Amino acid sequence: MSTERLTITVSDLTVHVVRKQIENLHIAVYPPDGLIRVSAPEHMDEDAVRMAVVDRLKWIRDQRDELLAQPRQSVREMVTGESHYVWGKRHRLRVVSGGKTSGVEIAGRGILLLTVPTAADRDERAMILEEWRRRELKVAVPALVNKWEEQLDVAQVEWRVRRMRTKWGTCNPEARRIWLNLQLAQKPRPCLEYVILHEMLHLVEPGHTERFERLLTAAMPDWRRRRSELARLPLSDDGEWPPHDVPGRVSQ
């Protein structure tokens, strides 16, 4: 699918426009800073896009105001007492230095125990926690992929995990491969399943079409609730918020 990108200013707002081979215009407002993105049909000229944004200005401002009013988690320093999220639940970090081996475990109710070498700095501690999250995902993902392979009647789906700044997941239909954001290990498990289903469904319907939404609703009737949960603050532990490729807030 070919795309064309440009940036326009409407009133005092910066709007990012992506022209695609789609039928209808979509407007999304992304957390955490209220980035505005318009997906527009290729045939729609800039004036028409501007008018569409103007028509929705009140809705856009309302969404931005709501997002900017929400509290945010500061960048994690990887020290004892900080809050960290595991599968949607908040845990207090307890750092133990000088251990014979590095590792992470849930120790007691609400305690995330991080064992690190004596001289480990903030980045080394973060890497140990990140690798633990990667292993958590690699345990959780296979059963969900197998489930949706059967229900969607698709086979031999390859999946991988990586850190992504702008998406919760992506799909390469030609390679039959999906990528999952490492930070999904911080979100509730139903959110992980939603992202897996969403990306695997692109093997059946590549675009975000009306058919795609019908298939998604038929397979997972509560997908909108899961998507909202995925977008809920606080932000991820490194202070970034990676929006999924389906806007969390859309006007059509």
H or E stretch at 13:
strand 13-20
Q: Give the chain's mean pLDDT.
A: 86
**Token pair for 189:** 């498990």
CA 251, distance to chain mean position in Å, is 19
Q: Give the SS3 label for residue 37.
A: strand
CA torsion, points 238, 241, 245, 249, in degrees to nearest 10? 170
For residue 63, name the pLDDT band (cuts at 50, 70, 90). confident
In the chain, the N- to C-terminal Cα span, in Å, equals: 20
Is the model's pLDDT at 160 over the cut of 70? yes
The pLDDT score that the predictor gives to residue 92 is 95
CA distances from 24 to 52, 185, 242 (A): 11, 34, 25
CA 18, 246, 52: angle at the middle one, nearest 5? Answer: 45
For residue 199, name the pLDDT band (cuts at 50, 70, 90). very high
Higher pLDDT, 64 or 86: 86
Across residues 182-198, what is the average pLDDT?
A: 95
Inter-residue contact 181 to 242 (CB < 8 Å): yes
Q: CA Rg, the chain, in Å?
A: 20
CA 37 – CA 28 distance, rounded (Å): 5
206-251 pLDDT per residue, tens: 888 899 999 999 999 999 999 888 876 454 545 444 443 333 333 3
Report DSSP state, residue 174.
T
The pLDDT score that the predictor gives to residue 31 is 65
The pLDDT score that the predictor gives to residue 244 is 38
Is the model's pLDDT at 21 over the cut of 60? yes
Q: What share of the chain is helix, strand, coil (3-state, %, to 5)?
A: 35, 25, 40
The pLDDT score that the predictor gives to residue 249 is 35
CA 105 – CA 117 distance, rounded (Å): 16
CA 57 – CA 35 distance, rounded (Å): 14
Weakest-pLDDT range from 63-77, 96-110, 160-174: 63-77
For residue 99, name the pLDDT band (cuts at 50, 70, 90). confident
